[in-house]
Structure 1
Amino acid sequence: MTIDMDGKHIDETKELDGKDVRSVPTLASIAEKVGVSVNTVSRALRAPNTVRAELRKRINVAMDELNYVPNRLAGGLSGMRTDIVGVVVTSLYYSEFASIIDTLQSALLERDLQVMLANTRYNPDQEIKLVRSILSWRPAAVAIIGIDHPPKVVELLKASGIPIIEMWDTGGNVIDTAIGFDHQAVGAAQARHLIDQGYKKLAFVGSLRENDRRAQKRLLGLEAEAARAGIAAIAKRTEPQGGSPDLGERLAGELLETHSEIGAIVCNSDVVAFGVLRALKKRGKRVPEDIGVIAFGDNEAAACVTPSLTTIRPDREKIGRLTADAIVARINGGEPQTTVVDWQLMFRDSTRRKD
C-alpha cells in the first residue's frame, strides 16, 4: 500500500486495464530512492512548505530521474485510466492543425473518449510541463504533433505505459505509433516542381524555429534535391518566430536586396507566402514569369489570392481520422505501427510557367 497526494491509501501494484503496473514509478519507489518514508514524499507533494528545502530538492530529483508523474485522481480512482486522450500540438495559429483536431475529436467522441488539448507554442520547456500535466490525469492515450521531442518528453511518454500516437511526421524514429508523412520528401518535391518549371536559382524564406523540426526537414529535402539537380546553393532568409504575412513580406524584401537574381522562392508556410507575394508585387516583379512562389499547407486562402498559390496540401482530415483509429486499436491491444499519409502538390498560377 502507499499514499496518494490526498493522503489516502492506494494499491499501486494492482492491474491497470489488465496490465501489471508495478514498473510504473510510485511514491514508494521515490521514497526508497531518497531514503525517506512514503508519508514524507506524499507531504512534499501536497504541502511542500512542511518539508525541508534540501529534502524537497532530493525528492524532486528522484521524481525526475524515475519519470514519476503525480496522480490527480484520488482514492479508488487512482489505479484507473480515464476516458481522456491528451492531444499536444505545437501551434494553434492559422488553423494549421485545426482540421486534425476537429476530425480526431469527432472520431474519439463516437468511441466515448474525450480530448484534452495542450499547445506548446514550439517551446520545449512548455512541452515538458504540458506532457507531465496531461499524464497526471491518467489519460487512455496521448496524441502529439511531431516525432522530435525533448529527451525528457520521450522518457515521460515511454514510461507512461499508454499508447502514444505521434502525428504529422514519420521521417525518423518514433516512440510507439506514428501517422503522417516525410517532410524531407515534401521539400524535395517542391524543388523538383520548380526545376521542372524552368526555375534555376532558388531561395527559401520564412519562419524557421529551433524546435520546428518539420520545417527544417523540408528545407533539407529542398537543398538535397536542388544539389542533385546541379542547382547552386539556396539563398535563405529566415527568423525563429511565428510565420505571418508581415514576416514573409519583410524577409522577401531583404532577400531581393542581396539576391536580385533569384528565380523562385520556397516558403515554409502559406501565410508567409502571402507576404512574399505582396512584397514581389510592390517591387514590380511578375509572378510566375520573373519569380515563382511555392509554399506548404494549402491554407483556405491559397486558391483565392492573385496569383493563386502553388502549395503542398497535407491530408489533415485523414491524419485525424487514422489517429483516432490507431488510438482505439492500441487501447484494445493492437500493435504499434507507422502509417504514411499521402499529400498533394497543388499546382497553381504562382509557378505556372509551363502548361
Structure 2
Amino acid sequence: MEDRRNDGQRPPATLASIAARVGVSANTVSRALRAPDTVRPELRRKIATAMEDLNYVPNRLAGGLAGTRSDLVGVVVTSLYYSEFATIVDRLQSTLLASNLHVMLANTRYDADEELKLVRSMLSWRPAAIAIIGVDHHPKVNDLLRHSGVPIVEMWDLDGDVIDSAAGLDHGEIGAAQARHLIERGYRNLAFLGSMREIDARAAKRAAGMRRLAERQGLPPVVMKTRAEPGHPDLGEALCLELLADNPAIDGIVCNSDTVAYGVLRGLRKLAKNVPEDVGVIGFGDAEASACLTPTLSSVRPDRDNIGRLSAEIILERLRDKPSRIAPIDWDIVARDSSRRGMPTIGNDM
C-alpha cells in the first residue's frame, strides 16, 4: 500500500525555544506556567502565542526531564457509547501489558475541540506512544501528534493522510459493499441513515462510497437521512419514520451502525413494512445483539480484535525503531434475514 505519511518532523518545543521566540529567559516562561499571576498579562499572552505556534506541551513528569518517557500509551477513542471500541482497546491493552506498557484512555465524544484538549493533556505525561481513532483530526491535533516525537498509530481508518502508522478499514469500500449487498438482492431505491457527527469522517466515507456505487449502477440518487447526535435506537426509529414519510419508494436502508439499525427495524414495524420483502436493512459493526433480533440484522463485521492487536504490535515495533507501516484490516458482510428478499429466512449467520 502507498505510504501516505506526512514528513517534516522537528524537535519538540522546549522552555528554551519558547523563551527565545518571545525574547525572555526560560525562568520567565516557567513562571508563566507555574505562577501566571507573577507575569504581566501582555507577556503571558506573548508566551501563550509562542507555545501555540511551536506546539509546546508541558512535561508533567516529576523532575521535568525533557527526554523522559513514561510507560503509558495514550489511547484516544471517539465514543464509549455501546462500547463500540471496547474490543479494540481490550486487545490493545492486553498486548501492551505483556511488554509492561499501560493504557491511559480518553474519550472525545466526537468533539474536535475536546480531542485537542485530550491529546494535549496526554502528551504532557510524556507517553511512550499514542493510539487514536481515525485519520481525520482537529488541525492542531495533527500538528501536535506529528511533532510529538513519539510513535503514533491511527486506528479504525486509513483513508487519508496518515501521521505515522495506521491499522484500519477502507470505509469508502465498505459503503460501496453495503450498497452492492442490497442491490444484488433486488433493492433499488436506497437510503443512508443514522448519526453523522462533527469528526465522524468514517460514516461520511461509507455514505460517499455508497453513493458512488449507486450512481455507477444507474440507480436513483441515495437519500441521506442523518443527524449530528449520538447513534441510538430511538434516533434510528425517528429517522426511519421521517425517511419513509418523505420518500415512500425507499426499499433499501444502509445504517451507519447496528444500534441505529435496531431503531430502524422498530420504525418499519410501526409502519407495517415487511422486512426484508418491503424494505431491506443492513447495519455496520455486527454487535452481538444483531444475530438475536427478529428479523436478524445483516451487518458489516470489522475485525476489531485484529485492529487492537496490530496497533499494539506496531507501537512495540516503532519503540524498537522499526519502520512505520499501514495495516489494512479485514472485514466481511454477515448476511442475515433483514436483507434476504426472495430467500428463505435463516435466523443466524450465513
CA distance in 2, matches of 1:76, 1:351: 58
Alignment of 1:1-355 (within 5 A): 23-75=11-63, 77-355=65-343
CA distance in 2, matches of 1:22, 1:274: 48
Q: Normalising by the residue count of structure 2, what TM-score does the alignment of the two structures yield?
A: 0.94
What is the deviation of 1:303? 0.6
State the identity as a percent. 61
Task: Report the aligned-residue RMSD.
Answer: 1.2
2:154 match: secondary structure: strand
Q: Deviations over 1:295-316 (max 9, x none)?
A: 1011110111110000001100
CA distance in 2, matches of 1:194, 1:23: 51
Q: Deviations over 1:249-273 (max 9, x none)?
A: 0000011111111111111100100
What is the deviation of 1:156? 0.3
Aligned residue type for 1:167 = M
What is the deviation of 1:282? 1.0
Q: Normalising by the residue count of structure 1, what TM-score does the alignment of the two structures yield?
A: 0.93
1:23 match: secondary structure: coil
Counterpart in the other structure of 1:12: none
CA distance in 2, matches of 1:158, 1:173: 11
What is the deviation of 1:75? 1.9
CA distance in 1, matches of 2:156, 2:11: 30
Aligned residues: 335
What is the deviation of 1:23? 2.3
CA distance in 2, matches of 1:138, 1:245: 40
1:68 match: secondary structure: coil
Aligned residue type for 2:112 = P
CA distance in 1, matches of 2:279, 2:296: 14
CA distance in 2, matches of 1:212, 1:283: 30
Q: Deviations over 1:131-160 (max 9, x none)?
A: 010000111100000001111001000111
What is the deviation of 1:49? 1.2
Counterpart in the other structure of 1:17: none
1:166 match: secondary structure: strand
CA distance in 1, matches of 2:209, 2:225: 17
Q: Deviations over 1:25-62 (max 9, x none)?
A: 10010001001111110000001111111111110000
CA distance in 1, matches of 2:28, 2:10: 21
Cα pair 2:237 2:263 within 8 Å, conserved: yes
Q: Which shows bigger deviation, 77-86 or 108-117?
A: 77-86
CA distance in 2, matches of 1:123, 1:76: 30
Counterpart in the other structure of 1:7: none
What is the deviation of 1:210? 2.4
Aligned residue type for 2:321 = G
Cα pair 2:111 2:198 within 8 Å, conserved: no
Q: Deviations over 1:91-128 (max 9, x none)?
A: 00011100000110011101100001010111111111
CA distance in 1, matches of 2:10, 2:269: 64
Runs of 4+ that moved beyond 4 A:
none
2:291 match: secondary structure: coil
CA distance in 2, matches of 1:61, 1:334: 35
CA distance in 2, matches of 1:340, 1:220: 19
CA distance in 1, matches of 2:159, 2:70: 31
Cα pair 2:280 2:339 within 8 Å, conserved: yes
